[in-house]
A and B are shown apart, each in its own frame.
Chain A
Amino acid sequence: MYEAVHAHPGGETTVARHAATAARYGYEGLVVRTRAALAVDDENAGDEQTNRRRDPTALADEYGIDVVDAVEVDADDPSQAAGTVGAARSTRTAVCVVGGDDRRNRFAVEDPRVDVLVRPTAGGGGFNHVLAKAARDNGVRVEFDLGPVLRASGGDRVRALADLRKLREIVTYYDAPHVVSANPSSHLELRAPRELVAVAAEAGFDPEWVREGLREWGVVAARNRERLSGDFIQPGVRRGRYETER
């Protein structure tokens, strides 16, 4: 199972500390949403030592947990977001688009280059059957953000729970793909997978469905790594030896 975190400088905890904590909690992988937290290709490149500290493979070797370089695209208008998505697609393993209002949600689910629509209902964004169908057709995962359930209280938490329930009803009806995360921005906000499943079960989710959502990050990473590898031509077509077995 994977968790998608905000790391320093976007969060309070560095990728290494997140990785150490997540490995202890029993996660198999860590998706880093913060663009500046990892050095990939020439992006964020510094001196050699800094690069090693920000290298996903070095971090994965050190802590025994898969580290996925992702990016969260948070743009005000869709045309700007489309440009950023296009640029990030060829360098980053996972591309997430931050939702939160109707236009952004709509842009994210209608672009097949996007992997995940994150926080679709934060800030009063709506989600409906049209978006769910588009998400299913374009293979865009809809994120279920358990962060407010874990950390907010009172009215905010009630609204977050109500939004989650509505989103769940729509997404499961149209069988759109989903991911689950607690959106932690420090190692203290990180919770173990069993804890997340328990909380979601109290909120009315099916436990297996939640585990599936936590695993889906790994599916996204595996699929995109294959696509970014040099041997990939298009789905079903790859460079290399012909198949000897059928």
Chain B
Amino acid sequence: MKHLPKHLRPRWRYLGVGIETWPDAVVGRRGFQRALWYSAGNLLGDTGSADAGLRLLSFSYAGGTGEAVVRVRRGHTAAARAAIACVSEVDGDPVGLYVRGISGTVRACEERYMGRAAASTTQRDVAFGDAERTAVVREDAYDLRTESGHVGAAAFDIE
């Protein structure tokens, strides 16, 4: 199909989103896109969800952190931000999301808000409370595994 004249093309905004999970979670592109649409559908309704769009353009995830570029129709960024905030889990794994910023072009969004890919993670045995635990260490963050589940700690708690 012949593409639209410039003044009729939809205007977009691009949201740079930071993703954080527990280290053993697996978050996939499809799962994340589904969670976004599901959240938008529930919070904004079908009409609001269609208006906002919320298409995942790029996605990367490894070892408990990730980032994504989400395309949103201009003028609906506030609604999109709300829908993104309401994504609390992807395929049963809890996720922490943070909108790093909004840009008018994909390139600006990637240059400004992407590429903070996670530093590599290492596994280490650390003393926490009164027990020895295995921790997945990523910069300042220490994710520990205990009998009752995960504990998120920081270097300040360990050293």
B32 CB, nearest partner CB in chain A, Å: 14
A106 CB, nearest partner CB in chain B, Å: 32
* A-B contacts besides A8-B153, A199-B43, 20 pairs, CB < 8 Å: A12-B151, A13-B152, A13-B153, A16-B154, A16-B155, A17-B141, A17-B152, A17-B157, A19-B154, A53-B156, A153-B42, A187-B20, A187-B96, A190-B96, A194-B81, A195-B82, A195-B98, A198-B79, A198-B81, A198-B82
Instruction: Map CB proximity to B onto A10-37 as digits: 1 under 8 Å, 0 otherwise.
Output: 0011101101110011000000000000
Name the B residues within 8 Å of A153 (CB-CB). Answer: 42
Q: Are A188 and B153 in contact (CB-based, < 8 A)?
A: no
Q: Known: A186-B94, A202-B44. Is A195-B85 also a contact (CB below 8 A)?
A: yes
Q: Are A16 and B157 in contact (CB-based, < 8 A)?
A: yes
Name the A residues within 8 Å of B82 (CB-CB). Answer: 195, 198-199, 201-202
* Cα-based distance from A8 to B154 in the complex (angstroms): 12
Cβ 8 A contact of B154, one of A20, A191, A195, A201: A20
Cβ 8 A contact of A186, one of B79, B98, B142, B152: B152
Name the A residues within 8 Å of B22 (CB-CB). Answer: 188
Name the B residues within 8 Å of A186 (CB-CB). Answer: 94, 96, 150, 152
| Number of chain B interface residues as a range | 20 to 34
* Cα-based distance from A199 to B154 in the complex (angstroms): 29
Q: Are B79 and A202 in contact (CB-based, < 8 A)?
A: yes
* Chain B residue at smallest Cβ distance from A154: B42
A155 CB, nearest partner CB in chain B, Å: 12
Beta-carbon contacts under 8 Å, B46-100 to A = 78-79, 81-82, 84-86, 88, 94-99
B53 CB, nearest partner CB in chain A, Å: 16
Cβ 8 A contact of B85, one of A13, A62, A157, A198: A198
CB-defined A-B contacts under 8 Å, sample of 7:
A12-B149, A62-B156, A191-B98, A195-B98, A198-B78, A202-B43, A202-B79
Interface residue? A150 (CB, 8 A)? yes
Name the A residues within 8 Å of B111 (CB-CB). Answer: none
| Number of chain A interface residues as a range | 20 to 34
Interface residue? B132 (CB, 8 A)? no
A156 CB, nearest partner CB in chain B, Å: 12
Beta-carbon contacts under 8 Å, A193-222 to B = 194-196, 198-199, 201-202
* Cα-based distance from A17 to B128 in the complex (angstroms): 14
Name the B residues within 8 Å of A62 (CB-CB). Answer: 156
B127 CB, nearest partner CB in chain A, Å: 10
Q: Are B88 and A150 in contact (CB-based, < 8 A)?
A: yes
* Chain B residue at smallest Cβ distance from A20: B154
Name the B residues within 8 Å of A59 (CB-CB). Answer: 156
Interface residue? B147 (CB, 8 A)? no
Highest count of chain B CB atoms <10 Å: which of A24, A63, A189, A199 = A199
Name the A residues within 8 Å of B149 (CB-CB). Answer: 12
* Cα-based distance from A151 to B95 in the complex (angstroms): 11
Q: Are B152 and A191 in contact (CB-based, < 8 A)?
A: no
* Cα-based distance from A16 to B79 in the complex (angstroms): 31
Q: Are A20 and B140 in contact (CB-based, < 8 A)?
A: yes
B113 CB, nearest partner CB in chain A, Å: 13
* Cα-based distance from A141 to B43 in the complex (angstroms): 27
A224 CB, nearest partner CB in chain B, Å: 25
Interface residue? A81 (CB, 8 A)? no
Q: Are A25 and B154 in contact (CB-based, < 8 A)?
A: no
B146 CB, nearest partner CB in chain A, Å: 10
Cβ 8 A contact of B99, one of A14, A16, A17, A194: A194
